[in-house]
Every structure is written in structure tokens, then in C-alpha cells.
Amino acid sequence: MNTDNIRSLFPILNQQVYGKPLVYFDNAATTQKPQAVIDELCRYYTTLNSNIHRGAHYLAAQATEKYEETRIAVQSFVNARHSHEIIFTRGTTESINLVAASFGQAFLHEGDEVVISAMEHHSNIVPWQLACQRHGATLRTIPFNDQGVLDIEALPGLLNEHTRIVAVNHVSNTLGTINPIADIVTIAHSRNIPVLVDGAQAISHMKVDVQALGCDFYCFSGHKMYGPMGVGVMYGREELLEKMPPYQGGGEMIKEVTFEQTTYNELPFKFEAGTPSVGDVLALKAAIDFMLQTGIDNIAAHEKELTDYATSRLLTIDGIRLFGTAPDKTSVISFLIGNAHPYDTGTLLDKLGIAVRTGHHCTQPIMDKYGIPGTVRASFAVYNTIEEVDALYAALKRIAPILL
């Protein structure tokens, strides 16, 4: 894979900040977009803008066709059985809220339990807390060890006849840990408990096959996979989606409305109330095309090389503490320099042109476990280079003695 060629597709990377070449290592927060994605957004608003599914005119028909083509592209991308199992949302957060609210309404009752992991993003914690509060259920958590590996052996003991769903992330945004989803599904399904997977941090790094994983729901965001902000996906197994009530009411999700009674539209429209972000959905297809053309295996191999190299370089710096050292992890490196506040490290790196994330990364329970206020997080994408990792290493080597 030629990284120069890949970088040339991403105009934003070719710039200086504070007079230094931009090194963008905040990819777990959001990835940059290739020109093809930007062009698609522009093309939509320049030539196609219209509301889908309703109009009797040419533009509306074209936009609808392309919108539904993207649904099929997503279906194929994650290997869902049916295209109507792909629901477009605003992002992972909305996808999980949809399931927690709708599944909760259908299946959660007083005394029931919901199991999540202790390494979840707040968006896979709070929606379940809200659902539990609403229905009188209890939230339980699967612990993880100091390396950041989930204690999967604890899972069977957390499941019982009251457990209604297990919700876990595929990859931790803070620790990089890849969780053994297929094993979790096997354990949960042996007790007829469905599994929701937060795939926000997995979808751009590995081949995701929802049928091979066996999960019942899989949620992700377009903007973390080289696509635009404002669009996400909730994959749900047909059998469960059919049993779940609508999440939001409004246009498009209905068959017939009278003041006495409303009947709902079929899947997927039952869960897509109102006007969706059509341009963003169309541009998501361009992002998928970019990933497929680049090759997901190539992306994964390149990111692994960067991660292994960065880890070994950083560990040679006095005072570096890594958080998340699971054997199976993606391209996320969370660290601190001694007890220095992560914000100080991040600010100094920024002045050297290196963009990282600092703070709790919306995973406060992980920070509580390690007894730290937050971490500095460098996360890599397909367009990052070994030279950029060298720049991070050189910067940290300069910064560490100042902060220690």
C-alpha cells in the first residue's frame, strides 16, 4: 500500500499548523475525509438536493434511488442478511439510544437486568441507565483487568433469567482492546439473550461481518470511517426489529394515521422518522468505496505496523505509562507522562503540530478504575505514516523532561 497515494486523497492533511506539518492522530474521535466523500456531498447539494421517498419528480426519485443504493452498500459491507435490517441514524449515539429506548419498551420490565462492560463509552452506558430507570431494571457490568482485557469468564455468572440484553463495544475507544464478540454472543445466546455491539471504533479497522459475529444489533458512525458527520447505522436482526416499537414518530414511519390510531410502516422505514441526512448517507457510500478500494486488510496491516512501532518507541521514553496493553488491540495508544496532566501534554504536542485527544474520552469509569483523570490518546488511521510516529516520539522525548 502506498501511503503517499492515500494521503493525496485527503486534502486536509496537506497543511501546516503553527508553522509545523499537521500530524493528525485524533482518528478515534473522527477520521478525515477523502476528496471523493467531500465531492459526493457537494454533488448532492449541487445537483440532486430533494426530499426522498415522497416526491413525484425526477430529483426526488434520483435521490431516493441513491439513498437506497447506500443501504444496500452498507448491507453488503457488514454482511447483513437483509437491506431492511440497516437503519440510518445520526450516528452511534443515536443508534444505541434507539435500541435502548425501543428494545427497552418492548422487553425491559421491573426486576430485569442489562449487562454492559466496564469499558464502555458513555453512549453505551447512559442510554441503558435511562432505560433501566424507566422500566425498573438494573445495570450490571463485566469487569476488565489492568491490561484492559475483558474478564469474559465473569460473563456467565452475570447472566440469569432476568437478563434481557448484553451491550458491549467491539473495540474500546480508550484502551484499543478488541473484545471477543463472537464468544460473548455464544455465551449470551446459549441463554437466549440478545447482544448489541457498539462498533464505533471497529468499523474502520477490521472486516465486520454481523452474521459471523452473530450479534443482534451493531451500531456505528459514518464520521469514524472516513465518511461524513451526521450519519450512522443501526443494524438490527429482522426478527427483533419486527417486535420493537418505533423510536420516534413522524413522517415516513407510518402507513396510515388517523386521530384514533396509527399503523406503522414496514422495516426499515418504521425506524426512520422524518427527513434523514440524505447527502451524508450518499457520501457514506463514497467512504465505503474508499475503504473497499484501499482494502480493509491493507488498512489493518498498516495500522498494526504503526501501532507496534509507536508502542515500542514510546516505551523507551522515561516516565511513559501506557493504558490498554491487551494483546489484541487496534491503533489506539493511551498514555500519560508520569503524573503530568494529560491536557498539558496534549497542549505541548499541539504546539508542535501534533493533534491528539486528552481527557476521559467519554469513558469515566475506565479512568476511575486506573485512578487517573484522563489520558493522552494517539490514534492512527490508514493515512498516517512511520515518519509521523517518529515526530510524536521526538516531541514526547522533548516534552517528557519538562513535565516530569
Distance, C-alpha 147 to centroid of its chain: 22
Q: Which single residue is written with the C-alpha cell 484499543?
A: 176
288 binds ligand PMP (CB under 6 A): no
Within 210-229, the residues that bind ligand PMP by CB under 6 A are 221
Binding mask 7-36 for ligand PMP (x = CB under 6 A): ------------------------------
Out of 73, 115, 166, 200, the residue judged to bind ligand PMP by CB under 6 A: 200
Residues 6+ apart with CB under 8 A from 219: 89, 92, 95, 96, 99, 196, 197, 198, 199, 200, 232, 233, 234, 235
d(CA 238, CA 244): 10
Q: Among the options 42, 132, 215, 362, which is catalytic?
A: 362
Residues 6+ apart with CB under 8 A from 162: 111, 112, 113
Distance, C-alpha 135 to centroid of its chain: 27
93 binds ligand PMP (CB under 6 A): yes
Within 356-375, the residues that bind ligand PMP by CB under 6 A are 362
Out of 32, 201, 265, 331, the residue judged to bind ligand PMP by CB under 6 A: 201
* Residue 362 falls in the annotated catalytic set: yes
- Which range in 85-93, 295-303, 319-327, 364-372 contacts ligand PMP by CB under 6 A? 85-93
Task: Give the count of residues interacting with ligand PMP (CB under 6 A).
Answer: 13
If the CB atoms of residues 93 and 294 are measured against ligand PMP, the closer one turns out to be 93
Angle, helices 278-294/58-78, rounded to nearest 10 degrees: 40
If the CB atoms of residues 60 and 139 are measured against ligand PMP, the closer one turns out to be 139
Out of 91, 104, 127, 268, the residue judged to bind ligand PMP by CB under 6 A: 91
Count of CB atoms within 10 A of residue 175's CB? 31
97 binds ligand PMP (CB under 6 A): no
Q: Are strands 232-236 and 195-198 parallel, antiparallel or unpaired?
A: unpaired
Tell me how far CA of residue 378 lies from CA of 119, 342, 356, 385, in angstroms: 18, 12, 5, 13
- Which range in 53-61, 91-99, 135-143, 293-301 contacts ligand PMP by CB under 6 A? 91-99
Q: Are strands 320-323 and 332-337 parallel, antiparallel or unpaired?
A: antiparallel
- Which range in 59-67, 193-201, 294-302, 327-335 contacts ligand PMP by CB under 6 A? 193-201
Binding site for ligand PMP (CB under 6 A): 91-93, 121, 123-124, 169, 173, 198, 200-201, 221, 362
| Catalytic (active-site) positions | 362
